Structure 1
């Protein structure tokens, strides 16, 4: 039975690694989106960094990308940016 147990542990470890990698990729994407949006809104330096962080955190509100889109869209609307 140990071969099956080893295989199960390996599959679980691979799944966990895949999930962690996917999370990191999405967080990186959101950070870059945040920096792009910050640039359009005229934010620089630590203000741009802080804004990018809020975009990353906004993705944790609900599954999917809608929460990120709503945040950036609302911020663009507030800044008068029509993109």
Structure 2
């Protein structure tokens, strides 16, 4: 009765949309912090982005776009995952 896959898809889609909204907000705040020279806030917001990445990963949301945002915002060298063994 409560196993409607369409509801699960909608819920996950809504969750992913909320993550996107939160990421956009953090990026906007990050841009403001950088322009104001607030290094502490910049580091805090980058941590927030990384926490959002972990949250997405734990909930099976595609983390590729989020990881790309973090890489762009931090200038970090991306870590290439090891190929999975067959």
TM-score of the aligned structures, taking structure 1 as reference length: 0.46
Q: Greater helix share, 1 or 2? A: 1
Larger Rg computed on CA atoms: 1
TM-score of the aligned structures, taking structure 2 as reference length: 0.45
